[in-house]
Chain A
Amino acid sequence: MLFLDAIDWILDPEHWREVNFGPGIGEELVAHLWLTLLSVLAVAVVALPVGLYIGHTGRGRGVAVVLANVVRAVPTLGLLALLFIALPLGLGPAVFVFLLLGVPPLLAGAYAGLESVDRQTIDAARAMGFTEWQVLLRVELPLAAPLILGGLRSTVLQVIASVTLISNFGLNSLGDFILGGLASQDYPQVVAGSLLVTALALLVDGLLALVERAAAPRGVSRGDGRTTARSRRVRTAPTGAPIAEGN
């Protein structure tokens, strides 16, 4: 059976060192994770400040939504191909491509997270004498943490999956096993490659889920519908321009 053959393939110690005279599972795994890590860091550097700015001020939301949707609509492989035609091969351009792909979920998580914070809570904090930075760091961020981390999880999954495709363009990743297997019609290897990517994704996602749970603010139940509903209602009221006032 193909599935069991694939398991056997993965469990073969030889494959962890070398596959078809190329890098083994260990090396591909490290390469895959490394590229993922670099890309996610790049995403965070771009998406967090922008998303927090949009969420805090309510400005630029429309533009962000449109851009994110455009990026989402583009097929990943197509985007990769297009960009690798235009860019030289290498780690830098690869990270750039995954940055484009990975930004939308974290960006959305960041601004949606801040928007979910009750306007009255923020207003009260301001009235107590919190500076704008203190409102952001001590009120909005802790309360938005679960949604932001939710966005981060989607970004990481997106990148882990997309990095598989980088094999088409000459960089190492677990995708090499899939691509190589297809070329040599070694189907157990193809399935093994897919299993490895899937397992990696599930593992990383599970770890991030734990982080997300740990970061949920105490005193506020996770995904507290009440807070969100109230903030929505308040936001539609004409008093929803707290930034412009009093500064």
Chain B
Amino acid sequence: MAIEFRNVRKTYPDGTTAVEDFSLTIPSRSTTVFVGSSGCGNTTLLRMINRMVDATSGQVLIDGEDVGAIEPVALRRRIGYVMQNSGLLPHRTVIDNVATVPVLTGTPKAKAREQSMALLDRVGLDRSLAKRYPGQLSGGQQQRVGVARGLAADPNILLMDEPFGAVDPIVRDELQRELLRLQRELGKTVVFVTHDIDEAFLLGTQVVILKRGGVVAQIGTPAEILARPKDDFVADFIGAKRGKRRLTVEQQGDGDDLLLVDSSGYPAGLISAPGGRLEPVLSGGSDPKSRSVSNKTDQAGDA
């Protein structure tokens, strides 16, 4: 399910233009991350895909079909959505929350519950939590339930709006790794919003760095962006959190790529050469451990 934004603009009724003129193709079965500071229009862009927000002008297409022509309720039921504060229904048990969309679309309750149980396993939740209410779960558990709910109708597209933004770093780390695992297993078209560049590089096959007004600062694989930040804004953005680490060129890959490594030995960047072979290592489908390691580095760098 490829998603295409064509000259999309969004002006809210109060006159705020959240997105000025945005075009992008999101390839199917991979993870695209929108990253930008708060207020850049991340959420607006994401919600235009499932018509929680309607574009003022321009089009959003899913596999060539204009979403504007699809009835919003039907559209939303076939797109998974995970938000920051889980958005779970507080008066329904975990299992019923997960089963929400299948029940809406007419799956018999017993069957929906049974499938939801399997989903709890999938997202690493103990089945004993099924009968609890969301208020009885930790933040991290709630987010897992949120992810399970997003996956329940087996949608081709999964929209995630800062899903791990409100959990503590250790749990976030765990959730990120699990998302990578899930994505390897399921191969959804994931559109993920974050303010955290490290999270973006860790999870994204394609990373879109946004400025205010949904202006694209740079699009590329993490390796491309790390290797060649397009301008000072991007360099600043991806460098800001990396602190004042002293970088050294430590390794040479099989090709001509140069891997930048910080003083504690963690990879921090890549200078890719034509035909370089390290690129795929950092850009997806690789051993998730090495990537989560690079993420941890940055949290350590923050502390």
Contact = CB atoms under 8 A, between A and B. Distances in A.
Most buried by B among A128, A130, A143: A128
Q: Chain B at the A interface: mostly helix, strand, loop or mixed?
A: loop
A127 B52 contact: yes
B117 interface: no
Contacts of A246: 47, 51-54, 72
A221 B54 CA distance: 36
Interface in B66-96: 72-77, 81, 83, 85-93
Interface string A65-101: 0000000000000000000000000000000000000
Contacts of B302: none
Contacts of A219: 90-93, 133-136
A217 interface: yes
Contact of B76 (A129, A142, A221): A129
Nearest to B84: A120
Interface residues of A, number: 28
A131 interface: yes
Contact of B83 (A124, A143, A238): A124
B89 to A, nearest CB: 6
Contacts of B13: 241, 244
Interface of B: 12-14, 16, 47, 50-54, 72-77, 81, 83, 85-93, 100-101, 104-105, 133-136, 149
A121 B83 CA distance: 10
Contacts of B53: 245-246
Contacts of B100: 128
Nearest to A245: B53
B101 A121 contact: no
Interface in A207-222: 217-221
Nearest to B78: A129
Contacts of B149: 128
Contacts of A221: 135
A219 B100 CA distance: 16
A60 to B, nearest CB: 18
A227 B76 contact: no
Interface string A128-169: 111100100001001100000000000000000000000000
A126 interface: yes
Given A220-B135, A246-B72, A129 B87 contact: no
Nearest to B133: A219
B93 A121 contact: no
A122 to B, nearest CB: 9
A5 interface: no
Interface string A37-60: 000000000000000000000000
Contact of B104 (A118, A123, A129): A129
A247 interface: yes
A7 interface: no
